[in-house]
Amino acid sequence: MTTTESQIEQDFIAKLEALKYAYRPDIRDRASLEANFRKKFQELNRVSLSDSEFERLKDDLVTADVFAASRRLREINSFERDDGTPLFYTLVNIKDWCKNSFEVVNQLRINTDNSHHRYDVVLLINGVPVVQVELKTLGINPRRAMQQVVEYKNDPGNGYTRTLMCFMQLFIVSNQDQTWYFANNNTRHFSFDADERFLPLYQFADEGNQKINHLAPFAEKFLAKCTLGEMISRYMVLVASEQKLMIMRPYQIYAVRAIVDCIHQNRGNGYIWHTTGSGKTLTSFKTSTLLKDNPDIEKCLFVVDRKDLDRQTREEFNKFQANCVEENTNTETLVRRLLSTDYADKVIVTTIQKLGIALDGTHKRKYKERLEPLRNKRVVFIFDECHRSQFGDNHKAIKDFFPNAQLFGFTGTPIFGDNASKVKIDGDHATDVTTEDVFQKQLHAYTITHAIEDRKPRATFCTRPRRVKVTRCAPLPTHPSSTMSPC
């Protein structure tokens, strides 16, 4: 097994080349980095910039605010040219991230007025530095690399605030045997103490929640060009209310993919078994936002079984993305939003009680009759704690009225044959009903066993304040929206 840092770096670059990254040994300093960015920018936006325009563009782009840079990376932006006309541009192909240019550079030196830093490996998308990989010799704890990243970031006038390195999205640290990754952030969300405190930190895993620790298989699974593009564009969340970046946990990503693929292929219903405290609100939010851009889907309803959960879920959704869902104060409001063609009303959070009233054909306001135009549309229902709200009459009413609907449930405690209760779901006779009876198939599982197992490698990366001992850490992973990572 490779032991020297230099050899680990060379092997890693060779792996990336095998993944079709273009290795650029000619990019070793700030000037060559910027020249390459200019070339890629002009190719992407089909424009030729004058020297003065490029200098002003750089001044406009470079910022010390990680959150602001991250938003710009994902948006269509505008810039005033020398002749006063606007240039609308993007830094990446935001419609298809696979079609961007992917390059790898190593031993990049960025000199600013106060800093003289060298970065082991940096991945570029269209010339923009988005991933930094810091490597250590086999046997040296990757915490050393983490500490180095934080020290670089804390150095006054560092490259992350004064150069194109401001667009950095992810950091990866590895000693070949152990590989970890974490999102870039502004200082208040980016603190570290080698003994007991660190920011949200992740190990990648496969669909069965088996950890992928070694650098080579990690690169194959995480850094394949389309996968990395998807990771940054789809599975990083910019939390506007806190001005911070979050990256979803592996099991959340697999759950979202499973639901979205099931809908895309119109393969019936399904359920997600994710243990309590594993962050299913973020998972359901990301699923909903991805479905929002699916033209085949008329509506996506996230259904909870209590009024307080309705408010809490809306607040969480709107924290992830401001004003993405509105309050349905009553059933009348819900029905109006269901019938609305406004893009803002495509994702709706509601209670099962309001939905039940809306589908009650005997109600004096004739909600069900008014909803008739939706009957044959493709509507997606996502149920929170589905075993509480989706057995019995509710299930039958939804299936009867929306024959083309797809139903998905999230639960931390699925009902199997040995713990089923008798519920009348069809016909007149009560029968034992399991989660699978209602939702057809399990799409992904992250059980309490997985959560406890995940806790073990995190013990040395506790995020509690210094005055709190590691032994007091919570036994299960915290909600991913928290800035504090589980131990």
Check: CB of residue 195 under 8 Å from CB of residue 201: no
Superfamily of domain covering 250-446 = P-loop containing nucleotide triphosphate hydrolases (3.40.50.300)
Q: Where are the beta strands (DSSP E) in 248-345?
A: 270-274, 299-304
pLDDT single digits (tens) 362-377: 999 999 999 999 999 9
Confidence (pLDDT) at 465: 34
Parallel, antiparallel or unpaired: strands 299-304 and 379-384? parallel
Phi, psi values for residue 414, rounded to 5°:
-65, 155
pLDDT tens for residues 289-334? 888 888 999 999 988 775 555 555 656 655 555 554 555 568 998 9
Average pLDDT for the chain = 84
pLDDT tens string 86-118: 999 999 998 899 999 999 999 999 877 666 789
Q: Could you tell me if 99 and 93 are in contact, meaning their C-beta atoms sit under 8 angstroms apart?
A: yes
Q: One-letter amino acid identity for 242? A: E
Regarding predicted confidence, which is higher, 400 or 276?
400
Residue 380 near residue 298, CB atoms below 8 Å: no
pLDDT of residue 175: 94
CA 461 to chain CA centroid, Å, is 21
Model-level pTM? 0.84
Domain ranges in the chain?
Answer: 5-247, 250-446
For 14, 65, 153, 219, the CA distances from 127, given in Å and listed in that order, are 20, 20, 21, 20
Pick the CATH number of 5-247 from 3.40.50.1100, 3.90.1570.50, 3.40.190.10, 3.40.50.740: 3.90.1570.50
Q: What pLDDT, on the 0 to 100 scale, is given for residue 396?
A: 83
183-221 pLDDT, tens digit per residue, is 999 988 887 665 555 668 899 999 999 999 999 999 999
Assess whether pLDDT exceeds 70 at residue 63.
Answer: yes
Report the half-sphere exposure of 189 (CA within 13 A, side-chain side): 21
Asked if residue 319 lies in contact with residue 281, where contact means CB atoms within 8 angstroms, the answer is: no
What per-residue confidence (pLDDT) applies to 3? 74
CB count in 10 Å sphere of residue 283: 26
- The predicted model gives 32-41 an average pLDDT of 98
Structure tokens at 412: 């931390």
pLDDT (tens digit per residue) in 225-235 = 999 999 999 99
Give the tens place of pLDDT for each residue, 380-390.
999 887 655 44
Nearest Cα to 274, choosing from 166, 408, 430, 471? 408
Tokens of 339: 């019938």
